[in-house]
Structures are given as C-alpha cells and as structure tokens.
Structure 1
Amino acid sequence: MSFLFAYPVSRSRSTATASTICAQCRRSFQTNAVRYSGHNRWSKIKHEKGAADKKKTSQRSTFSKHLTLYSKLYGADPSLNSQLAAMIATAKKAGMPKANIDVAIARGQGKSSSGAGLEAATLEIMMSPSVALVVDIETDSKQRALHELRSIIKKHNGTVTPTAFLFARLGRTVLQQNNKDNGNSGSGDDFDEILMQALDAGAEDVEQDEDGNVVLWTQPNMTHQVAQNLSKELDKQILSSDIIWSCTSDKVKLDDAEATEGIAKLLASLRDYPDVQGIYGNPERGAVSEEIWSAVEENLDA
C-alpha cells in the first residue's frame, strides 16, 4: 500500500509565484517598434511589375499598328495575306488576346469589332509652355470619344484650341532595310537607285533613318499606293505607312522638369485611350533629363 502525502503550500510562496507570472505577462505585452523587412522587397516587386506591364502595353500597341496596317494594305483575310497571318501568329505567341487582334484587323478595314463603321476626328491641344499637339482619332462614336478625351485634356491642364496650322499633313512610309544592307546606303541596294525608283513611284522625298531604313515622304492620297509598289519593287517589308502631322514651325524646347512631366502624363493618358491612333507635337528636349524627356518622346508619333 502506498500513501500520498500532500504538503501544504505556504501563502507567501503562492503569492510570489503569482507575482512572477504577472510580471512575465506585463513584459510580454510591452510594445516595441516593428520592422517590416518585406517593405523594400514589395516596392521592388511593384516597380518591376509596373515596368513589365508598361513593356507589355507597348508591345501590344506595336502589334496592333502592324495588324491594322497589313489589314489595310493587303486585306483582312489571313489566308490571302501572308504578312497579316505572320503578324497574327507573332502576336498570339506574345500573349496578345484574340479580341485585341480582331479589333486591330477590323480597324484596318475602317470598322469596329462589331462591324460598325469608324469615324475620323482630330483634337488640337496646347500645353504650357507653348507645346502644340494634334491627336488623330478613329471611333465608332465620335461624340463619346471627343467628350471623354476633352475631360482627359482638362484634367491635365491642357487647352483644346487650334494648333493644326503649325503642322502639315504628309504621308510617311518606312521600309525595312534588307539584312544585306547593314544600314549602309553604299551596300546592298544603291540608295541613288532607290531614290530614283521612289520618285518615279510618286514619292516627294526619300531619306534613311538612323537604322538604315528607307523613309518615303508622299502626299497623303499617295501614301499607301506608293508603299505597296515600292515594297514589291525593292523587296523590302513595310514597317509603317501613315498619314501624319509633320511640324512646320519652330520646335519648343522643354527646359522645365515639372512642366515636362505634366506633358508626359497627358500624352500617356491619351495613348491609353483605345480610339487614339496618332499623337503629333512640336516639343524637343531642352535642359530636362533623358529620363523625363523619354516619357514624352515614347508617346509621340512625330
């Protein structure tokens, strides 16, 4: 037989134990500054995501322009238009949604994705300091588009006012250099020969850009026909063929960083609007940094 003996616990020992526990409780509820080590990491992720989204948007905009161009020049049926078929395949591989592809192809035929005809419109804008802009629009609802774009312009402190008198309407086509050209007019096709053929085809001037591509300048009503003819004759791919607003006045130098950033924000908002087809202006880089200027330049078509 075993016996259990209960030893009485003294009141003083019990009180001491309780005091110790309470002290530990008080220590555990003390507040200290908390450092969130993930804050900088999240900022970095957000920045990288923003850059990736911007790159994707720019890429899709380029695809849309080419899809619209090839649809306009050679027809909307990919089975009869090899350049359009190739561009569709490239856009799909890059993850461009089918709906966006269909919209771009329909636009080349002067229609919306629903089959409704598109209307052309122009907005003329002035921004401080004396920066003139002209925006080309194609839309299935002219009244809606102009109303919404005017709201965007007002939000960014722009003024809708005549500016087109500072520009001339011209056709501009860019033909890709052949690989054998290597960007030099003296190798591959002779540039003088290209010049003569282009002038005979209806071009008013011919030049080469910094990449060696052939740039044709024409009257607006001759643009696409000259592009198609010379593309075949010279065996060069059409990179772009547009009727643009070319600045004929003195350019406006951008020296103030804050004003330039304001212009860049307006241009980005205009570019994001789906019915905007081209943005043309008269600014040039002054004393602002390359980073600030690039935000303006990347959203201008001329």
Structure 2
Amino acid sequence: MAGHSKWANIKRQKAVVDAKKGKTFTQLSRAIIVAARSGIPDPAGNFQLRTAIDKAKAAGIPNDNIERAIAKGAGTWSDGSVLEEIRYEGYGPGGVAILIEALTDNRNRTAADLRAAFSKNGGNLGETGCVSWMFAQKGVCVVQGVENEEKLLEASLEGGADSYEMTEVETGEVVTEVGNLEHLNKTLKEQGFQVTDAELRWIPDNFVEVTDTEQARSLLKLIDTLEKLDDVQNVTANFDMAENLMTASMAY
C-alpha cells in the first residue's frame, strides 16, 4: 500500500485547495446522492450516507446543499439530470494501472474527456477489465493521533481488520473487508481512536515501481488531470514511488 498511501496523503492536502475551486464540493455532493440512492435516505441507518455527509460538512458544504443531494438520491427532488456510476480503466506511463470511478449524466462526454487526458499525458484508456483484476475493493479507516501502535493493532484485530499501516507520524490506515467497515469504524472509535475518514477504496494487489523523473512527472500529471475532471470521483493507481521523487515531480 506504500505508494498509494503516500499519494493519498498528498491528495488529502490538495483537497483543501481543490475545495476552493468547487471541485471537492461537486464530488462530495455526488457521493451523497449515490449513498442515498444505494441505501435508505436516512443517515442513521445508512453508514455510507452518514460518512458522505460528515465529509461534506467537514468541507464546509451548506446544509441546504446536503439536504438537496439526499433528496436527489432518494428520488424526491430532480434537476432533470440522471447520474450514472461508471468505472473506467487504463494504463499510465510505464505501464502503471489506473482505475477511475466516475459519476456522470453523459457517458460519451466523460469517455471523451478521459481519453483526451490519457493521450495527452502518455497513457491509454483501456477496455473494461483490462486492469481491474489487479485491484481489490476494501474498507479503509484513517486514524490520526496514534500514540501507541500496539493499541492500534489490538483495536484493529478486535474490529476484524485485515491489516494496518502507519502512513505518517501518528497516522495510520486500517484495512478491512467492505462489509466490515462500519463495525471497524465503530470499534476503533470505542477504543478511543480518532477516525478521520472511513471509505471504500480500491487497493492494488501489486505495484509498479517508478524511478524515472520524467516518467514520474508524466504519471502524476495524468492522475492530477483525471482528478480535475468534473465527472471523476476517484482515481487509483498501482505505482510505488520514493516520496522525494513524488514531491519533486509534483512541481510540473
């Protein structure tokens, strides 16, 4: 998980900047719509919706917008557009596998935008199934303020976790099966840990090591370009890269 975890940390830092541009607002509002549509439109009984609402509030999205997104997901309010969840797959520079989760009301527009992003940045948009077999969807809890790693291990095992990894000083990511995410989240909180995020994430089964500076720059530019597209919700890639190379390559 090393390469992806470092990238996830950088993405969280970038999210503050992205929020000012409205990009994060759009993503989080759409996440609420999907969560409300896939379960009951009541956060008390819908963990995915409750988590999406918490993220939206943390980003400063007004309550009116949140309520409107819930109503749209529940089918009680409509602006005329119908959002569809689609997963796209492709290869970046150096053969890095890239998985994209999109939410769109026009799949032709989304596919064209993705194809252009790949072709301009040394990658190729592939067919369905070309890289998804390299990834497994898992539940991930991000825990901050970890002072005792042994206690985190014990709490993680009690919560039914598969593994955990310290990604920064006092910050860890605990991984579990998708269906166990709510239980793990609850267990960690009951044990006194500060869970700052609980999400479903595609995690690579293997990694491609990137060591070339130009290749690294092209890859990160491709991922950044994909993430800036309005219809894109999440981008996951199976690269591993030294942190100093990643940081240097961000200055493209």
Report TM bin, short chain.
Answer: 0.5 to 0.7
The answer on whether the counterparts of 2:141 and 2:196 sit within 8 Å (CA) in structure 1 is yes
Cα drift, residue 204 of structure 1: 2.5
Q: Distance in 2 between matches of 1:169 and 1:83?
A: 17
2:101 is paired with a residue of what secondary structure?
A: strand
Tell me the matched-pair count.
Answer: 228
Indicate the larger mover: 276-285 or 102-111. 102-111
Indicate the larger mover: 83-92 or 119-128. 83-92
Amino acid in the other structure paired with 1:285 = M
Cα drift, residue 249 of structure 1: 2.0
Q: Give per-residue Cα distances to partners, 1:122-165, cap 9 Å, x unaligned.
A: 11111222222111112233343223222322233321221222
CA RMSD between the two structures: 4.5
The answer on whether the counterparts of 1:69 and 1:108 sit within 8 Å (CA) in structure 2 is no
Normalised by the length of structure 2, the TM-score is 0.65
- Pairs within 5 Å for 1:127-166: 127-161=92-126, 162-166=130-134
Q: Distance in 1 between matches of 2:192 and 2:30?
A: 21
Q: Distance in 1 between matches of 2:208 and 2:248?
A: 18
The answer on whether the counterparts of 2:114 and 2:125 sit within 8 Å (CA) in structure 1 is no
Q: Distance in 2 between matches of 1:204 and 1:252?
A: 24
The answer on whether the counterparts of 2:32 and 2:66 sit within 8 Å (CA) in structure 1 is no
Cα drift, residue 209 of structure 1: 3.7
Aligned to 2:232: 276
The answer on whether the counterparts of 1:67 and 1:87 sit within 8 Å (CA) in structure 2 is no
* Match 2:135 to one of 167, 170, 173: 167
Aligned to 1:241: 198
The answer on whether the counterparts of 2:86 and 2:103 sit within 8 Å (CA) in structure 1 is yes
Aligned to 2:7: none
Aligned to 1:293: 249
Decide whether aligned partners of structure 1 residues 205 and 88 sit closer, same or farther in structure 2, where only a CA change above 3 A counts: closer
Indicate the larger mover: 150-159 or 61-70. 61-70
Decide whether aligned partners of structure 1 residues 64 and 79 sit closer, same or farther in structure 2, where only a CA change above 3 A counts: farther
Aligned to 1:39: none
Cα drift, residue 270 of structure 1: 0.8
The answer on whether the counterparts of 2:207 and 2:239 sit within 8 Å (CA) in structure 1 is no
Aligned to 1:56: 17
Amino acid in the other structure paired with 2:136 = A
1:151 is paired with a residue of what secondary structure?
A: helix
Normalised by the length of structure 1, the TM-score is 0.56
Between the two proteins, what is the percent identity of the paired residues?
19
Indicate the larger mover: 134-143 or 56-65. 56-65
Decide whether aligned partners of structure 1 residues 113 and 284 sit closer, same or farther in structure 2, where only a CA change above 3 A counts: farther
Q: Distance in 1 between matches of 2:125 and 2:205?
A: 20
Q: Distance in 2 between matches of 1:62 and 1:138?
A: 14
The answer on whether the counterparts of 1:227 and 1:241 sit within 8 Å (CA) in structure 2 is no
**Which of the two has higher C-alpha Rg?**
1
The answer on whether the counterparts of 1:208 and 1:214 sit within 8 Å (CA) in structure 2 is yes
Cα drift, residue 272 of structure 1: 0.8
Decide whether aligned partners of structure 1 residues 113 and 246 sit closer, same or farther in structure 2, where only a CA change above 3 A counts: farther
Aligned to 1:204: 162
Q: Distance in 2 between matches of 1:209 and 1:288?
A: 15
Q: Distance in 1 between matches of 2:79 and 2:43?
A: 19
